[in-house]
Amino acid sequence: MRWGIYSLAFILAACNHVSKQADVYLTTPDAKQLLALQPVLHAGKDTAVANIRIDTALQYQEIEGFGAAMTGSSAYVMQQYMSAAQRDTLLEALFDAQKGIGINYIRMSMGASDFSVAPYSYDDMPAGKRDDSLLHFSIGRDSMLLPVLKQVVAINPEIHIMGTPWSPPGWMKTSDKLEGGSLKTDAYEVYARYFVKYLKVFGDNGIKITALTVQNEPQYEAFYPSMKMTAPEQAVFIKDHLGPMLVREGLKPEIMLFDHNWNSPEYPISILDDTAVARYTTGAAFHCYEGAVGAMSQVHAAHPEKGLYFTECSGGSWAPSFADNLQYMIGNLLIGTVNNWSKNVLLWNMALDEHNGPTTNKPDTASGVNRGCMTCRGVVTVQSTNGVVTKNIEYYALGHFSRFVRPGAVRVYSSLVKGLENTAFLNKDGSRVLVVLNTSKEDRQFSVQDGTVVYPYLLKAGAVSTIILK
């Protein structure tokens, strides 16, 4: 539990100037209301059985932001399928808090991921060749990505950008290729220098990388850029190579370990137990594809001094129901992760085309197994023929948080009420934000108590509301 983030005087001042009305934004399971501004909510008498009480004196983790991954595929569809005017409008809808949903945290791959137009690293070499001096290091293959990132930074200069490798260059690995394998023991030091090069080159191009994860999904080797990295291997790499080298170079990105599913909390805990590693790390990152969100609280219980981060989950055509997706994304991925100590929430692809691509994914001819997700859905879909944008459920789910819970906000206490999943935040400007999801099959009457002021409210079955108290 975090105390003292705001002074007592500030909290008292906020409580003494509570407004008697609140703004409300609503999304309904029938998609007829999509992050839609509702009539102002006025203070009244507490006549509801269910009461959600907000207490800003009980403070938890600081929030860094909400967003998604600007993959190579996302940049490609924005650059190739859209006019400059269309792209400007889309980026404002994604990253501007007044004209859109105010995304303030993005993730990008170091080199190719499974959602790139082709596989590559920043230092590819012919078979049997090495480049330990990194003389051939180049971000030239990110020619689609870099201009989009520059536009994003122009809209939001303070945006968090997380870099994540799917694979080092093949010559650093036991597989001698981008797919699968492990990091060679004699490549640890040069791989640390590869990270330094990455940070500096993007910095020279006006893109400040604020966070790193060491390896995407280190427990999984795939038929696309990937690498197996055990917890002991990751610990050695951070403790003896990456951490000390970043310190020597005066570079200070947040370093997050693990970056894989909820079903293996022992992986990050075992690394953080080593204080020599922990001194270099900000915390641990998680994905949604296996396990349960409560695993994040297990890691917090073991290491409350470290931050927790949620860095990937994708919706897709396997889940076509808007109502079901709204329940899962708001309840599990957003409310669930922040209530289990996450400092951010990131979804997967920012944008894909109508064919869920383009991707590096192709059937493996030997096994017939697909090389990755062929049915993943972006936050938005961009039509390849005319650049027209469809805002998907992911857009509206993120918007209920990203537009209103700004970086530097702190999660605060809100009452547990069965059937009304909720979480609350205190922004730096003193506004309080409550997000409530009605998981019941019937409309729910309840009240929100903010200090001494009470707001009666009726929320439709399956709907979500963001309530902003100023």
State the Cα–Cα distance between residues 198 and 127, nearest whole angstrom: 23
pLDDT digits (tens, 9 = 90+) for 402-460: 999 999 999 999 999 999 999 999 999 999 999 999 999 999 999 999 999 999 999 99
pLDDT digits (tens, 9 = 90+) for 255-272: 999 999 999 999 999 999
C-alpha distances (whole Å) from 207 to each of 162, 165, 167, 200, 291 are 11, 17, 21, 9, 34
State what percent of residues in the chain have pLDDT above 70: 94
Phi then psi for 462, rounded to 5 degrees?
A: 75, 0
Higher per-residue pLDDT: 362 or 428: 428
- Token readout for 423 is 């979480």
pLDDT for residue 147 is more than 80: yes
Predicted local distance difference test score (pLDDT) of residue 206: 97
Q: What would the mean pLDDT of 97-119 be, rounded to a whole number?
A: 96
Q: Judging by DSSP bridges, how do beta strands 50-62 and 444-450 pair with one another?
A: parallel
Q: What would the mean pLDDT of 111-119 be, rounded to a whole number?
A: 95
pLDDT digits (tens, 9 = 90+) for 149-200: 999 999 999 999 999 999 999 999 999 999 999 999 999 999 999 999 999 9
Per-residue pLDDT band for 16 (boundaries 50, 70, 90) equals: very low
- Token readout for 92 is 């404002």
State the Cα–Cα distance between residues 263 and 286, nearest whole angstrom: 9
The alpha carbon of residue 461 and the mean position of all alpha carbons in its chain are separated, in whole angstroms, by 27
Predicted local distance difference test score (pLDDT) of residue 10: 41
Predicted local distance difference test score (pLDDT) of residue 47: 73
Closest by CA position to 158, among listed 85, 44, 67 = 67
State what percent of residues in the chain have pLDDT above 90: 90
Number of CB atoms found within 10 A of residue 265's CB: 22
Closest by CA position to 160, among listed 147, 168, 149 = 149
pLDDT for residue 371 is more than 80: no
Q: What would the mean pLDDT of 112-128 be, rounded to a whole number?
A: 95
- Token readout for 105 is 């945290």
Number of CB atoms found within 10 A of residue 336's CB: 22
pLDDT digits (tens, 9 = 90+) for 290-331: 999 999 999 999 999 999 999 999 999 999 999 999 999 999
Closest by CA position to 115, among listed 439, 338, 374, 330 = 374
CATH number attached to the domain at 64-407: 3.20.20.80
447 with 457: CB under 8 angstroms? yes
State the Cα–Cα distance between residues 297 and 303, nearest whole angstrom: 10
- Please, which residues have CB within 8 angstroms of residue 142's CB and are 6 or more apart in sequence? 72
| Average pLDDT value for the chain | 94
Predicted local distance difference test score (pLDDT) of residue 8: 42
pLDDT for residue 461 is more than 60: yes
pLDDT digits (tens, 9 = 90+) for 56-72: 999 999 999 999 999 99
Q: Do domains 8-61+411-469 and 64-407 have the same CATH topology?
A: no
| Domain spans of the chain, in order of start | 8-61+411-469, 64-407
Residues 8-61+411-469, CATH architecture? Sandwich (2.60)
pLDDT for residue 48 is more than 90: no
- The DSSP output letter for 33 is S
- Token readout for 365 is 């001819």
pLDDT for residue 17 is more than 60: no
